[in-house]
């Protein structure tokens, strides 16, 4: 539980990344402190970037959060601040995800240090993700074009252009494009689901 007072700039986003990981797990500071073998006060100082934890404490925190040290310590991705259409990577959905007719246009560079994932989902007519998934976190979306049939927690919702949605990712969710044209949705997850 040895820690040193920070005399130089702390790692960028370290405290915020730790707090984000804790909140994504739905844990209170006291619960994480108990699991990591440190005081709530110490954890609060670590999250505020006022104290740098010892390596053993950091390892216990990562283990308690079920994440890797790399996720906590990675530098934020470098690159352009502004990305232009046509320059962003567009990924086809992996067959393991069982989505048909979906592409992801990345709005946030891929990296371990990012606190959110944001893509434009480009969904072909009748395409979608058929098997519901659940994970920690929250999701937000804005339908840019077309329509989206969103199934969250067993209920079906229809969102059209300019409609937005927000839900807890712990609810089983899936989606599809019921329309005759392409659907484009800005979709944000936090934490990232990579």
pLDDT in tens, 79-102: 667 778 888 878 776 544 457 889
Every domain of the chain with CATH number 1.10.260.40 lies at 3-73
Q: Is 96 left (phi over 0), alpha (psi -120 to 50) or beta?
A: alpha
Examine the pLDDT at 188 and tell me if it is beyond 90.
Answer: yes
Q: What is the DSSP letter of 114?
A: -
pLDDT tens column, 35-55: 999 999 999 998 888 888 888
With beta carbons less than 8 A apart as the criterion, state whether 123 and 185 touch: yes
> Read out DSSP for 42-90?
HHHHHHTTSEEEPHHHHHHHHHHHT--HHHHHPPPPPS-SS--TTTS-E
- pLDDT, tens digit (0-9, with 9 covering 90-100), for 108-165: 876 655 678 889 999 999 999 888 988 888 999 999 999 999 999 999 999 999 999 9
| Cis peptide leading into residue 191 (ω within 30°) | yes
Q: What is the CATH number of domain 3-73?
A: 1.10.260.40
Whether the CB-CB separation of 177 and 147 falls below 8 Å is answered with: yes
Give the CATH number of domain 90-190; options: 2.40.110.10, 2.60.120.10, 3.40.50.620, 2.40.10.10. Answer: 2.60.120.10
Tokens of 126: 């009748």
Q: Where in the chain is the domain with CATH 2.60.120.10?
A: 90-190
């Amino acid at each position: 539980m040895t820690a040193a007072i920070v005399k130089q700039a702390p790692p960028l986003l370290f405290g915020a990344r730790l707090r984000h990981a804790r909140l994504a797990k739905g844990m209170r500071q006291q619960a994480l402190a108990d699991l990591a073998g440190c005081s709530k006060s110490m954890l609060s100082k670590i999250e505020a970037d006022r104290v740098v934890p010892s390596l053993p404490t950091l390892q216990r925190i990562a283990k308690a959060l079920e994440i890797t040290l790399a996720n906590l310590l990675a530098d934020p991705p470098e690159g352009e601040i502004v990305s232009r259409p046509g320059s962003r990577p567009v990924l086809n959905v992996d067959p393991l995800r069982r989505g048909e007719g979906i592409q992801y246009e990345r709005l946030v560079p891929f990296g371990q240090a990012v606190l959110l994932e944001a893509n434009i989902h480009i969904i072909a007519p009748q395409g979608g993700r058929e098997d519901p998934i659940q994970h920690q976190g929250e999701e937000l979306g804005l339908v840019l074009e077309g329509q989206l049939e969103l199934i969250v927690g067993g209920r079906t919702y229809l969102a059209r252009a300019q409609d937005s949605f927000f839900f807890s990712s712990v609810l089983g969710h899936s989606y599809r494009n019921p329309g005759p044209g392409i659907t484009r949705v800005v979709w944000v997850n936090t934490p990232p689901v990579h």
